[in-house]
Amino acid sequence: MRNYKTQMEAAKKGIVTPEMETVAKKENMDVNELMALVAAGQVAIPANVNHTALSAEGIGKGLKTKINVNLGISGDAKNYDIEMQKVDMAIKFGAEAIMDLSNYGKTNTFRKELVAKSPAMIGTVPMYDAIGYLDKDLLEISAQDFLKVVKAHAEEGVDFMTIHAGINRRAIEAFRREGRKMNIVSRGGSLLFAWMMMTGNENPFFEYYDEVLEILREYDVTISLGDALRPGCLADASDAAQISELIELGNLTKRAWEKDVQVMVEGPGHMAMNEIAANMIMEKKICHGAPFYVLGPLVTDIAPGYDHITSAIGGAIAAASGADFLCYVTPAEHLRLPDVDDVKEGIIASKIAAHAADIAKGVKGARDIDDKMAAARHKMDWDEMFEIALDGEKARRFFEQTPPADRHTCSMCGKMCAVRTTNMILEGKEVKFCSEK
């Protein structure tokens, strides 16, 4: 029986956990260095005691940027078989986390299957599930009802939960005073705002925050402090509402650490490129170096159908500037529930952003695979290139669609391939084009 409740408690006591050993090996990091970062709250290792299929990952300072895949059913799209196909896709392409955002009916059967199957971290937003789980309308739900859902998710093995505890009366005052073009675009945030306005009560996750922390501590669930007032368009970025909530999240971070509960802080959704770096610095400062988890950010509002690209641009800048965890965005964002192909496109775009950022910020070993690709291209070894590629199946399919006459080139340049020409000259060979048959 382990003599600690959470990874943070163990780290503070100088205990190296199996999860820390796993993460240290993956990150090529000394385990004692990692333990110190966990103790300080600068790295989180979300690892519910009931998630036995988990292959632990670390999120935070000095580690590789991780990505999260959102999935789950809604009232208009209720096929769990398709959602499980998305899970398989996420695992295949190496997503480190999967969030079940199901918001219709009784979702616990799918969630239990997901936890039993997935080596990736599992996250949820209990607020989404409250109405279906409790079978009550919003106005009928009590503060203690919300806590019941949190406990149920924790018992089922969820590794991290988005809890919108920062949208309290002070933050709402700033939001209502200043006004916005897009108001509240967070689903959980809007539900809490509605509940607070209809009941006249304080946010239950803020008012009963200590009780929430006790539940999370019992199962070693990491709290992901939700950004209920995140900007939903460029015009609302870095406004009073967003910053007011962030200040509240900074205080809630310290309170969680006092209970040995690990923390991630969630960040903005839509933001112009020139504001991103400053926002990353501000979050780290206000939230005491806690790992930062961002949705995008999307750097323009005019690209529905291509928001996996707008978010990858913002995600790369954010991660290079200090963000630790990227939530993927699919081409279907703002339009419909994503299908399996959308999920794949979102994963690849987010993986590219995360990897590019890791290279930029000098994460140890990040560029090794790029150097391997360069060596394979130098040799014109297509099979090795496809093996190294993020999506080797797609790369091979493109190559074979218009096969070259000479296997040592591709159909774009053919025998005029720059690599082929240079290699031949350096090998002392004569380069010919017209006379070659």
The verdict on whether residue 80 carries a ligand-binding annotation is: no
What are residue 71's DSSP bridge partners? 100
Q: How far is CA 21 from the centre of its chain?
A: 22
What are residue 123's DSSP bridge partners? 99, 160
CA pair distance 94, 26, nearest whole angstrom: 13
The verdict on whether residue 293 carries a ligand-binding annotation is: yes
The verdict on whether residue 417 carries a ligand-binding annotation is: yes
The verdict on whether residue 227 carries a ligand-binding annotation is: yes
The verdict on whether residue 70 carries a ligand-binding annotation is: yes
The verdict on whether residue 413 carries a ligand-binding annotation is: yes
Q: How far is CA 91 from the centre of its chain?
A: 14
The verdict on whether residue 287 carries a ligand-binding annotation is: no
The verdict on whether residue 333 carries a ligand-binding annotation is: no
Pick left, alpha or beta for residue 97 (phi over 0 → left; psi -120 to 50 → alpha; otherwise beta).
beta
- Indicate the angle between helix axes 209-219 and 143-156, nearest 10 degrees: 10
Residues, the chain, total? 437
What are residue 97's DSSP bridge partners? 68, 121
CA pair distance 89, 350, nearest whole angstrom: 14
The verdict on whether residue 334 carries a ligand-binding annotation is: yes
The verdict on whether residue 176 carries a ligand-binding annotation is: no
The verdict on whether residue 315 carries a ligand-binding annotation is: no
The verdict on whether residue 208 carries a ligand-binding annotation is: no
The verdict on whether residue 228 carries a ligand-binding annotation is: yes
The verdict on whether residue 434 carries a ligand-binding annotation is: no
What are residue 264's DSSP bridge partners? 224
Radius of gyration for the alpha carbons in the chain, expressed in angstroms and rounded = 23
The Cα angle at residue 85 between residues 373 and 156, in degrees rounded to 5 = 110
Annotated binding site for [4Fe-4S] cluster: 410, 413, 417
Annotated binding site: 70, 99, 128, 164, 186-188, 227-230, 266, 270, 293, 334, 410, 413, 417
Annotated binding site for substrate: 70, 99, 128, 164, 186-188, 227-230, 266, 293
Annotated binding site for Zn(2+): 270, 334
